[in-house]
């Protein structure tokens, strides 16, 4: 980051530095959403435990 | 800004490149050189971190809705005479501006009308609304004249006066959205948009339309829905900690007026237009538009249009495209919410979350126009003493003795302006996140689902913040 800081902002690619945090956040949110959905899918697919024998009183 | 239009109008003989590049120098009165401790883009990164941390903090510490129902406290009573007095002041100011426009100097910077309309009213009243509430409602000249007309008609006709027609619900605030874009077109695109005479004629025409509308549909219904300025300033006033009602002033927490905002048809369009207009104003001063506009203008002029007409077409396309881009960003956030739960359709979600755009629009306006108000706003000091822009003798103070005042460009530095701009953008977007989170909890019922629904709204907020900082950075470069 310090290297980038010293490169200055006169180049056109300096504009991309404003886009980068957006892309990082979008990527992070995308991954989080995907994991959330996968967990939901696993919960839905989990086999239901058959009822066991009634415990003796 | 009008400065650009002026430059464009006056330099028809210049090359197109020169036409486009010239306005950059104005950059809304930015004066001095910034000496920031870190590069400007790093502020974008810092703002993103603040937004992400705010989002996490809201998810953890804000499990129940807190803003949907807030209590207001009556602070003080105000004399009933204040309302008509403010209205009379508004009518007087309107008359003075129109007279200056019609009878005064043709030089925009010397005439009261352009500065009064584009700086004091258009920008200054937003700042006033954010701090003090709906000041415009009290000052609006057409509302005051409409109410006066209604009062006189009631006196003359008594019970025989017919009731106004019901305002068409489906029309909602669409007339205000159209009016807002039309005003922005005059300000940012039309080459004659800062000519005092033109502004005066347009102001009279607008007032006539408003008075006709009020006489048909009633003063309050028309002001609430169809008066572009009435709707615009009233939306920002909902952020304010004060609410004015006949005879009293009420106190409330900042932002508390927004969750109760009526987001009827057209409201979202007004807000997206407000953000888009400010965005385009910044964008049109930056390097990307400077590169694109000449090529677009050439392409349009090759169809047979004059160069000046083609330039206005290009700017119109740019303005509409940016409003479309801003609308698209918001819709992405709304569609993202639907990936979590299909319980609500997209139009319903857009209505429910429309109020979260108000602090974003406010942030964009404060960030973009703070320097304009700080510097060019001072021009009102000498313009009220010499509203027609007459040539005065040295030492002649004019009407109020202030005609010799000048603009003090030293009272706020370039660094301070940048910090205000960054601060406004960050605070505005964090406020948007808070409002969205609070509404999501009220809507989805549990904090987990509410937080998940706001993932994409966070991305939208980060995108708006980065876009805002990029625009400011490009304008300041």
Q: What is the 3-state secondary structure (H, E, C) of A1-57?
A: CHHHHHHCCCCHHHHHHHHHHHHHHHHHHHHHHHHHHHHHHHHHHCCCCCCCCCCCC
pLDDT score at B341: 79
* One-character DSSP codes across B383-448: HTTSTT-PPPPTT--TTTT-TT----TTSS-HHHHHHHHHHHHHHHHHHHHHHHHHHHHHHHSSHH
**Shortest alpha-carbon distance between residue B57 and chain A (Å):** 16
**Shortest alpha-carbon distance between residue B352 and chain A (Å):** 22
pLDDT score at B34: 65
Counting Cβ atoms within 10 Å, is residue B44 exposed (0-12), middle (13-18) or buried (19+)? buried
pLDDT score at A10: 55
Which of B36, B41, B290 to probe by mutation at the A interface, max A CB count within 10 Å?
B41
> Is B462 in contact with A19 (Cβ distance < 8 A)?
no
pLDDT score at B33: 59
Pick from A1, A21, A29: which is nearest to B466 by CB? A21
Q: Which chain B residue has its CA at the smallest distance from A15's CA? A: B470
Pick from A17, A24, A26: which is nearest to B41 by CB? A17
Cβ contacts (< 8 Å) between A15 and chain B: which residues? Answer: 288, 470, 474
> Is A29 in contact with B469 (Cβ distance < 8 A)?
no
pLDDT score at B11: 32
With beta carbons less than 8 A apart as the criterion, state whether B366 and B239 touch: no
Residue B94: phi and psi, rounded to 5, are -60, -45
| Interface residue A13 vs chain B (CB under 8 A) | no
> Is B459 in contact with A14 (Cβ distance < 8 A)?
no
Query: Buried b / exposed e across A14-30, counting CB within 10 Å, b at 16+?
Result: bbebbeebbeebbeebe
Q: Which range marks the domain in which residue B273 is found? A: 2-476
| Interface residue A53 vs chain B (CB under 8 A) | no
Task: Please tell me the distance from the alpha carbon of residue B428 to that of residue B431, in angstroms, as a whole number.
Answer: 5
Total CB pairs under 8 A between chain A and B:
56
- Domain tally, chain B: 1
Q: What is the pLDDT along chain B (477 residues), one digit of tens a residue?
A: 443 443 333 333 333 333 333 333 333 534 455 677 778 888 999 999 999 999 999 999 999 999 988 889 999 999 989 999 999 999 999 999 999 999 999 999 999 999 999 999 999 999 999 999 999 999 999 999 999 999 999 889 877 788 899 999 999 999 999 999 999 999 999 999 999 999 999 999 999 999 999 999 999 999 999 999 999 999 999 999 999 987 899 999 999 999 999 999 999 999 999 999 999 999 998 888 999 999 999 999 999 999 999 999 999 999 999 999 999 999 999 999 888 878 899 999 999 999 999 999 999 999 999 999 999 999 999 999 999 999 999 889 999 999 999 999 999 988 999 999 999 999 999 999 999 999 999 999 888 889 999 998 999 999 999 999 999 888 776
| 3-state SS class at B178 | helix
| Interface residue B41 vs chain A (CB under 8 A) | yes
With beta carbons less than 8 A apart as the criterion, state whether B238 and B140 touch: no
**Shortest alpha-carbon distance between residue A3 and chain B (Å):** 11
Residue with the bigger pLDDT between A1 and A23: it is A23
> Is A25 in contact with B458 (Cβ distance < 8 A)?
yes
Q: How far is CA B215 from the centre of its chain?
A: 27
pLDDT score at A11: 61
pLDDT score at B96: 98
Q: Which of residues 306-345 of B touch A (CB under 8 A)?
A: 339
pLDDT score at B342: 82
**Beta partners for B248?**
B77, B245
pLDDT score at B71: 86
């Amino acid at each position: 980051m310090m290297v980038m800081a010293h490169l200055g902002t006169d180049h056109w690619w300096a504009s991309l530095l404003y886009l980068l945090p957006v892309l990082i956040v979008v990527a992070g949110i995308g991954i989080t959403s995907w994991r959330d959905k996968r967990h939901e899918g696993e919960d839905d697919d989990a086999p239901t435990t058959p009822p066991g024998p009634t415990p003796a009183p | 800004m009008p400065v650009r239009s002026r430059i464009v109008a006056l330099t028809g003989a210049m090359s197109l490149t020169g036409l486009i590049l010239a306005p950059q120098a104005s950059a809304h009165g930015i004066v001095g050189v910034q000496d920031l401790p870190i590069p400007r883009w790093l502020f974008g990164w810092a703002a993103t971190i603040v937004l992400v941390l705010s989002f996490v903090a809201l998810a953890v510490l804000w499990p129940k809705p807190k803003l949907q129902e807030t209590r207001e406290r009556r602070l003080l009573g105000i004399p009933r005479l204040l309302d008509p007095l403010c209205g009379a002041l508004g009518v007087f100011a309107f008359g003075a501006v129109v007279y200056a426009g019609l009878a005064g100097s043709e030089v925009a910077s010397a005439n009261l009308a352009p500065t009064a309309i584009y700086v004091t009213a258009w920008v200054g009243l937003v700042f006033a609304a954010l701090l003090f509430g709906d000041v415009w409602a009290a000052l609006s000249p057409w509302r005051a004249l409409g109410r006066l007309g209604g009062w006189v008609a009631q006196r003359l006709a008594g019970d025989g006066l017919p009731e106004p027609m019901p305002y068409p619900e489906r029309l909602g605030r669409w007339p205000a959205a159209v009016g807002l874009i039309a005003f922005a077109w005059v300000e940012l695109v039309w080459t004659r948009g800062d000519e005092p005479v033109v502004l005066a004629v347009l102001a009279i025409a607008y007032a006539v339309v408003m008075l006709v509308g009020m006489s048909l549909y009633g003063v309050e219904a028309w002001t609430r829905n169809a008066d572009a300025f009435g709707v615009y300033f009233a939306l920002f006033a909902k952020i304010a900690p004060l609410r004015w009602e006949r005879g009293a002033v009420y106190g409330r927490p900042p932002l508390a007026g927004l969750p109760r905002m009526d987001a009827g048809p057209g409201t979202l369009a007004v807000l997206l237009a407000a953000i888009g207009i400010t965005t385009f104003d910044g964008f049109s001063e930056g390097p990307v538009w400077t590169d694109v506009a000449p090529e677009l203008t050439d392409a349009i002029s090759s169809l047979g249009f004059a160069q000046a007409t083609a330039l206005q077409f290009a700017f119109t396309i740019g303005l509409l495209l940016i409003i479309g881009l801003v609308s698209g960003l918001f819709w992405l956030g709304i569609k993202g919410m639907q990936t979590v739960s299909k319980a609500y359709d997209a139009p319903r979600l857009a209505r429910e979350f429309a109020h979260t755009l108000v602090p974003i629009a406010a942030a964009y306006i404060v960030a973009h126009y703070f320097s304009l108000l700080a510097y060019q706003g001072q021009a009102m000091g000498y313009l009220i003493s010499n509203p027609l822009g007459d040539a005065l003798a040295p030492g002649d103070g004019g009407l109020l003795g202030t005609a010799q005042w000048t603009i003090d460009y030293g009272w706020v530095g370039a660094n301070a302006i940048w910090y205000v701009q960054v601060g406004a953008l960050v605070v505005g977007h964090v406020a948007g996140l808070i409002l969205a989170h609070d509404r999501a909890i009220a809507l989805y019922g549990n904090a987990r689902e509410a937080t998940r629904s706001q993932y994409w709204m966070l991305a939208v907020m980060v995108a708006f913040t980065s876009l805002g900082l990029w625009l400011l950075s490009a304008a300041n470069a």
